[in-house]
């Protein structure tokens, strides 16, 4: 029986009138029994599909043993997950959070504290990029700089200097005596699946080294295999000083982390930061289970193989439907279709054809399937997109007013 619309919930989301009762792999079953192919993945969260048996086992085993103890005590599952993240990355140290925004908050505080600990507390500002998204807390909406998220919430938190996307000279010009570092997503997700060029990332790394700045990467969306490497910055052959992750590391369990080098974390001593729930044993058990799979030899090769296949098929669809799809963009399984009709209309039509996607800025529809997606499910998705584009084209030809600009 369909439930009533959840009118007691704060109406901050324009929700689709759709509720799901079950998930399995890349598939979601709705209350009315319809099965949807999930290429939204709870916004890049469902890294290993729904109800992955290894994750279910890890969570239920931990749930039966111990839920929560607080960070006043050692949490061995978290020590293990931290050690594995350190082993697999540039980082020497890890702080666990419950969300992406909190991972960013820790990153921002750490970048400021680094300079304060070095005797330069006046260096607290971060350079950020137009189109960025770093979360919805007061500091992270200021970092993201998007007017629609800042509007009406009082003076934005001070300390962020936003520059246009991808212009190195402007970045150089924005560096001043108060600059602490540079913060960016290697591929802007919410901003419209916009990758920074590898040369740009290398140039920013060098700029930071030359000016004594910290490079802070927001890999909340791009991390944990999403782009075909464990972390997206690996494509550019650089490492950050600080990195925020979340989404994929929990595979659906809410968790995030701030990773850093020992040097960058020098100011974060006992008492400087904390979280009641961060690093909770349940989250740590799931995070370890996600790593069990993602770190398996050959896993990332498989992701790259699948991603290439999907991207090729999408490129064919763009050629077949040049009136609907302007461009296929993105890295790995963080892909975007730039639409020639309103992207919300394309997304709704895809949903009618039982394919779930996520919107993004720049009139882009995001495709974020599980990293474990198989070729049969890719074929189903491609067929749904093909059919949807054909329907939208036909509707446009018969009634030009339904489409956007011709
Ligand atoms: C989703 C996201 C965030 C915010 O994460 P929350 O868990 O919603 O707080 C921050 N940065 C990027 C790049 C994201 O995609």
**Residue 12 within any structural domain of the chain:** no
**374 shares a domain with 249:** no
| 3 state SS of 367 | strand
Under 8 Å between Cβ of 286 and 82: no
Task: Extract the annotated binding site.
Answer: 100-101, 133, 136, 218-221, 275-276
**39 shares a domain with 157:** no
Under 8 Å between Cβ of 205 and 198: no
Please tell me the distance between residue 120's alpha carbon and the centre of ligand 1 in angstroms.
29
Kindly report, residue by residue over 309-327, the tens digit of the pLDDT.
Answer: 999 999 999 999 999 999 9
**285 shares a domain with 149:** yes
Residue range 271-287: mean pLDDT, rounded: 98
How far is the CA of 135 from the CAs of 97, 142, 165, in angstroms? Answer: 13, 9, 18
pTM: 0.96
CATH code at position 334? 3.90.1150.10
What residue ranges line ligand 1, CB within 6 angstroms?
A: 99-101, 104, 133-135, 185, 189-190, 218, 220-221, 246-247
Whole-number pLDDT of residue 115? 98
Whole-number pLDDT of residue 70? 93
**305 shares a domain with 289:** no
**140 shares a domain with 263:** yes
Of 294, 327, 360, the residue at which a domain comes to its end is: 294
Whole-number pLDDT of residue 400? 60
Under 8 Å between Cβ of 195 and 228: no
**Residue 159 within any structural domain of the chain:** yes
**Residue 383 within any structural domain of the chain:** yes
Q: What angle (nearest 5°) sits at the alpha carbon of residue 363, between those of residues 321 and 323?
A: 20
**Residue 92 within any structural domain of the chain:** yes
Using CA atoms, how far apart are residues 159 and 112, in angstroms rounded to an integer? 10
Using CA atoms, how far apart are residues 202 and 210, in angstroms rounded to an integer? 12
Kindly report, residue by residue over 368-403, the tens digit of the pLDDT.
Answer: 999 999 999 999 999 999 999 999 999 988 866 554
Instruction: State which ligand 1 atom lies nearest to the alpha carbon of 135.
Output: 4
Whole-number pLDDT of residue 1? 47
Range of the domain at 337: 20-44+298-398
Whole-number pLDDT of residue 404? 47
DSSP symbol at 92: S
Q: What angle (nearest 5°) sits at the alpha carbon of residue 219, between those of residues 213 and 221?
A: 150
Please tell me the distance between residue 220's alpha carbon and the centre of ligand 1 in angstroms.
6
Would you state the structure tokens that stand for residue 120, as one six-digit string? 């330069």
Please tell me the distance between residue 35's alpha carbon and the centre of ligand 1 in angstroms.
27
CA 184 to chain centre: 12
Average pLDDT of the chain is 96
Instruction: State which ligand 1 atom lies nearest to the alpha carbon of 254.
Output: 7
Rg (CA), the chain: 21
Count structural domains, the chain.
2
Percent of the chain predicted with pLDDT > 70:
97
**303 shares a domain with 273:** no
- Spatial CA neighbour of 332 closest among 237, 223, 228, 402: 228
Whole-number pLDDT of residue 401? 58
**378 shares a domain with 308:** yes
Whole-number pLDDT of residue 338? 98
Using CA atoms, how far apart are residues 195 and 122, in angstroms rounded to an integer? 32
Give the list of residues 6+ apart from residue 334 with CB closer than 8 angstroms, or none: 44, 187, 189, 193, 221, 222, 226, 227, 366, 368
Please tell me the distance between residue 10's alpha carbon and the centre of ligand 1 in angstroms.
20
**351 shares a domain with 210:** no
**Residue 99 pLDDT level (bands cut at 50, 70, 90):** very high
Kindly report, residue by residue over 168-190, the tens digit of the pLDDT.
Answer: 999 999 999 999 999 999 999 99
| 3 state SS of 218 | strand
**303 shares a domain with 290:** no
**Residue 257 within any structural domain of the chain:** yes
**348 shares a domain with 271:** no
CATH code at position 98? 3.40.640.10
Kindly report, residue by residue over 58-91, the tens digit of the pLDDT.
Answer: 999 999 999 999 999 999 999 999 999 999 999 9
**163 shares a domain with 64:** yes
Under 8 Å between Cβ of 299 and 293: yes
Least confident range of 1-15, 46-60, 78-92, 211-225:
1-15
**Residue 9 within any structural domain of the chain:** no
| 3 state SS of 113 | helix
DSSP states of 253-306? B--EEEEE-TTTTTT--TTS---SSTT-HHHHHHHHHHHHHHTSTTHHHHHHHH
**285 shares a domain with 220:** yes
**Residue 2 within any structural domain of the chain:** no
Using CA atoms, how far apart are residues 396 and 325, in angstroms rounded to an integer? 14
Using CA atoms, how far apart are residues 346 and 399, in angstroms rounded to an integer? 16
Whole-number pLDDT of residue 7? 81
Of 294, 316, 332, the residue at which a domain comes to its end is: 294
**Residue 112 within any structural domain of the chain:** yes
More confident residue, 23 or 405: 23
Of 263, 294, 325, the residue at which a domain comes to its end is: 294
Using CA atoms, how far apart are residues 177 and 197, in angstroms rounded to an integer? 27
Whole-number pLDDT of residue 406? 38
């Amino acid at each position: 029986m369909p439930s009533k619309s959840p009118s007691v919930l704060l109406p901050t989301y324009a929700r689709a009138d759709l509720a799901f009762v079950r998930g399995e792999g890349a598939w979601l079953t709705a209350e009315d029994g319809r099965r949807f192919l999930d290429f939204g993945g709870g916004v890049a969260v469902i890294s290993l599909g729904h109800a992955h048996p290894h994750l279910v086992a890890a969570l239920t085993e931990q749930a039966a043993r111990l839920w929560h103890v607080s960070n006043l005590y050692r949490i061995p599952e978290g020590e293990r997950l931290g050690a594995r993240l350190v082993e697999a990355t540039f980082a020497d140290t890890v702080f666990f959070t419950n969300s992406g925004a909190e991972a960013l908050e820790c990153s921002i505080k750490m970048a400021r504290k680094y300079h304060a600990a070095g005797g330069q507390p006046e260096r607290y500002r971060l350079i950020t990029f137009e189109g960025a998204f770093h979360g919805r807390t007061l500091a992270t909406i200021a970092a993201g700089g998007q007017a629609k998220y800042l509007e009406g919430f009082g003076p934005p938190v001070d300390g962020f200097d936003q520059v246009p996307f991808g212009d190195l000279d402007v970045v150089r010009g924005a560096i001043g005596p108060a600059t602490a570092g540079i913060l960016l997503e290697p591929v802007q997700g919410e901003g419209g699946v916009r990758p920074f060029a590898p040369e740009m990332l290398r140039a920013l790394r060098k700029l930071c080294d030359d000016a004594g700045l910290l490079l802070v990467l927001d890999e909340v969306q791009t991390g944990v295999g999403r782009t075909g490497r464990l972390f997206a910055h690996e494509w550019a052959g650089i490492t950050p000083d600080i990195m925020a992750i979340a989404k994929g590391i929990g595979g659906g369990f809410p968790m995030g982390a701030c990773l850093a080098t020992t040097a960058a974390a020098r100011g974060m001593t006992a008492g400087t930061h904390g979280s009641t729930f961060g690093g909770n044993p349940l989250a740590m058990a799931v995070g370890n289970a996600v790593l069990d799979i993602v770190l398996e030899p050959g896993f990332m090769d498989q992701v790259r193989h699948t991603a290439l296949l999907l991207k090729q098929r999408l490129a064919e669809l763009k050629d077949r439907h040049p009136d609907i799809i302007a461009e296929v963009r993105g890295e790995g399984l963080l892909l975007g279709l730039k639409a020639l009709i309103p992207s919300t209309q394309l997304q709704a039509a895809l949903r009618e054809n039982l394919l779930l996607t996520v919107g993004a800025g720049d009139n882009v529809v995001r495709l974020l399937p599980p990293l474990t997606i198989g070729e049969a499910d890719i074929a189903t998705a491609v067929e749904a997109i093909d059919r949807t584009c054909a329907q939208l084209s036909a509707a446009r030809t018969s009634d030009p007013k339904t489409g956007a600009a011709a």
